[in-house]
Chain A
Amino acid sequence: MAKSWFLGVPELRRALGVILVLALGLFLLLPLLTMVVWAFADVWRYPHLLPSSYSLRWWSWVFHNGNMTKAIFWSLTTAPVVTLLSAVICLPAAYSFSRLNFPGRRFFFISLLAANAFPKFGLYISIATLFFRLNLINTFWGVVFIQMINTLVVMTWIPAAGFDSVPRELEEAGRDSGAGPFRVFWRITLPIAMPALIVGGILAFLAAFDEAQGTFIVGAPRITTMPVLMYTLVTNYPEPASAVFSILLAVPSLVLLLIARRFLLAGYLAAGFKGR
């Protein structure tokens, strides 16, 4: 499997590869590592490469701070609900875009992109006035709806590509074996498309979990999620507090990363964004 064309000399290529990986690794990981060290630091002054003393007191501070636990609670309730609601709204549409023929199909499909293209802050202000009239300001469902905006594209496009990837022959073979259209969908189409649905769901969860701006506008002060609280922490508290909180905030995402790797994230994501 020597694909040595891309640099003539093997040694050079290998060396370049190592440098490349190291550079990327340092670029991506060093900031995160620094943050992790900060979470356990007590005193760390420049130009020391490591803290002069360590402590866990910021951990207990975070766990005993009412705001923090409240934020963790809101984050872990809103994001899953958003993901589920988004799935309910988007998955039938994904199937429809993939399998059914109707006027305006391509237009509607692309129109979801508008959710990504309009600057969020501009929207959130208008939405906030709308929500104000609907009594959704400062409510759980208001936050859910505002977070859902960010999930529409991934939750529709990627599962649609997943349904696309199920050959129609497999469905026809199911019909041929005596299964009606609904049974074919449940027993054949859905299981085969499932990895793409999971990838879409994971990315939707991340998008919802990550959302801070709209959540702040609609939810504050009652409903503050972890990313919202993070803004205050970054500006108002010493480094270790934010670092500890960041690690907590990163845990769900990193668990999802491990899950997503199993599902060939790359293929499904790329297929979802390749248009139709």
Chain B
Amino acid sequence: MARLELRNLVKQYGAVYAVNDVSLEVGDNELLCLLGPSGCGKTTTLRMIGGFIVPDSGDILIDGASIARLPPERRPTAMVFQRYALWPHMNVFDNVGFGLQLRRQSKADVARAVKQALDLVGLPGFDKRRPSQLSGGQQQRVALARALVLEPRILLLDEPLSNLDAQLRIRMREELTAIQRRVGITSVFVTHDQEEALSIADRIGVMRDGVLQQVASPTELYARPATLFVATFIGIMNVLDGRLAGDGRVTAGPFTLPAPAGARLASGQQLVVGIRPEDFQLTGPGGEGVQARVTQITDLGHYRRVTVEIPDTKPLTVFTSKLQDLPFGAATIQPQRALFYADEQLAGVMEPAGTAAAPVPSTSVGAAGA
């Protein structure tokens, strides 16, 4: 039970900002994922929380107390490392019990705590094994047990699943979240795998070039990406160049869309319009919308991925229901929902007819002109 707060963290390597003014709060028992491409600063941020990198400026607080000046061994954090970092010269028991032995706990207490931790991660009776005798998944569990046995207030996980094969990765991430919920521990989880982040996180912080782009729940992140980068990084997004016309309508490639209510846009402003593949309405030729051609249909089981071409426009990716009968050739296409970006920041959302248009959230990051 602890709250973690990062205030204006900065880490520079030469002229490059590895982490640029990142502020963030993680609540009690929350699992926050830091997500981004490699080199975005997510691991640097995590390592600053753990104490392995000293920030140039800013502060790190746990339950309101600054820990930024403490060395790693005096921080109430525990890290699960990407390659597990189990000590090869110690058996599983000593790996897990090392930190407890340092605390001069009695042998019986250490044994009890280690047994509990190994039970928790599903490895009872493995205490005498050497790390080299364990599979990747088992090593992962030992690393988790080693971190949890110290009862840290914050659990840090550095791409803990990236070295496992695909099937095991999915199983382990389910177990990991189950354990995290059972223990009830505030956690920061770094990953470059958006599916992983979307499936386990309470909230996700997306980073790029050292800058925190948006922190939001997975649903919010997908539905209302605050920046153009988040919009294109999470899921698939069709991106069209647009412009706000004088009549209050937006032209986006071949489409004409109504400008969303409440959007702070000036007439004639250049926009980028993002449309999710499932947000198009695709019907037979001659309907109400833009005339187009279906050039490719990929059946993906429960839905279809359709490539739609319109002259002078990049091909669009559209998801349609399997129930819809759709031949190749002429068709009509019209967006039902669209996201408008001005200066790479979310400026407005066009919701489908009949849905109440929600205002652009004020929590979105660094909105244009703010």
Q: Which residues of A are interface residues toward B (Cβ below 8 A)?
A: 167, 169-170, 172-180, 183, 187-188, 191-192
* Stretch of B70-78, B205-213, B257-265, B310-318 that contacts chain A: B70-78
* B99 partner residues in chain A, CB cutoff 8 A: 177-179
Q: Which chain B residues (143-202) contact chain A, with CB distance < 8 Å?
A: 146-147, 150
Given contacts A175-B71, A176-B50, contact A192 B89 (CB under 8 A): yes
18 CB < 8 A contacts A-B: A167-B85, A170-B86, A170-B87, A172-B81, A174-B98, A175-B51, A175-B72, A176-B147, A177-B98, A177-B150, A178-B74, A178-B99, A178-B102, A178-B103, A179-B99, A187-B98, A191-B89, A192-B88
A161–B40 CA distance with the chains assembled, in angstroms:
32
Which of A176, A183, A188 makes the CB contact (< 8 A) with B72?
A: A176
Residues on the A chain within 8 Å of B117, using CB:
none
In the bound complex, what is the Cα–Cα distance between A223 and B98 (angstroms)?
A: 50
Instruction: Tell me, rounded to whole Å, the shortest Cβ–Cβ distance linking B73 to chain A.
Output: 5
- Say yes or no: B85 contacts A170, CB within 8 Å: yes
Contacts of A173 in B (CB 8 A): 79, 81, 85-87, 146
- Is B130 part of the contact surface with A, judged by Cβ < 8 Å? no
Bound complex: CA A175 to CA B77 (Å): 11
A contact patch SS: helix
Bound complex: CA A167 to CA B89 (Å): 13
Number of interface residues of B (CB under 8 A): 25
CA A176 – CA B102 in complex, angstroms? 12
Asked if B102 and A169 make an inter-chain contact with CB atoms under 8 angstroms apart, the answer reads no
- Cβ B52 vs Cβ A172 within 8 A: yes
> Of all chain A residues, which has the CB nearest B74?
A178
B323-359 interface code vs A (CB 8 A; 1 in, 0 out): 0000000000000000000000000000000000000
Task: Determine the distance from Cα of A167 to Cα of B131 in the docked complex, in whole angstroms.
Answer: 15
- CB within 8 Å of A: which residues of B? 50-52, 71-74, 77-79, 81-83, 85-89, 98-99, 102-103, 146-147, 150
Instruction: Report A-chain residues with C-beta under 8 Å of the C-beta of B77.
Output: 176
Report how many A-B pairs have Cβ atoms within 8 Å.
62
Q: Which residues of B contact A187 (CB under 8 A)?
A: 98
Which residue of chain A has the shortest Cβ distance to B98 in the bound complex? A177
B-side contacts of A167, CB under 8 Å: 83, 85
Asked whether, in the complex, the Cβ of B73 is within 8 Å of the Cβ of A176, the reply is: yes
Q: Chain A contacts of B87 at CB under 8 A?
A: 170, 173-174, 188, 192
Rank and list the top 7 A-B pairs by shortest CB-CB distance, nearest first.
A177-B99, A169-B85, A175-B72, A173-B85, A191-B89, A178-B73, A178-B99
Please give the distance in Å from B317's CB to the nearest CB on chain A: 40
Besides the contacts A170-B88, A175-B73, A192-B89, what 8 more A-B pairs have beta carbons closer than 8 Å? Answer: A173-B79, A174-B87, A175-B51, A175-B52, A177-B150, A178-B103, A183-B102, A187-B98
A167-B102 Cα distance, complex, nearest whole Å = 21
CA distance A2 to B103 in the complex (A): 53
Q: How far is the CA of A96 from the CA of B93 in the complex (A)?
A: 31
Which residues of A are found within 8 Å of B89, using beta-carbon distances?
A: 191-192
Shortest distance between the CB of B103 and any CB in chain A (Å): 7
Return the contact of A178 from the options B81, B83, B150 (Cβ within 8 A): B150
Measured CA separation A191–B94 after assembly (Å):
14
Which residue from chain B places its CB closest to the CB of A173 in the assembled complex? B85
CB distance from A200 to the nearest CB of B (A): 18
> How far apart sit A200 and B118, CA to CA, in the bound complex (Å)?
38
CB distance from B252 to the nearest CB of A (A): 48
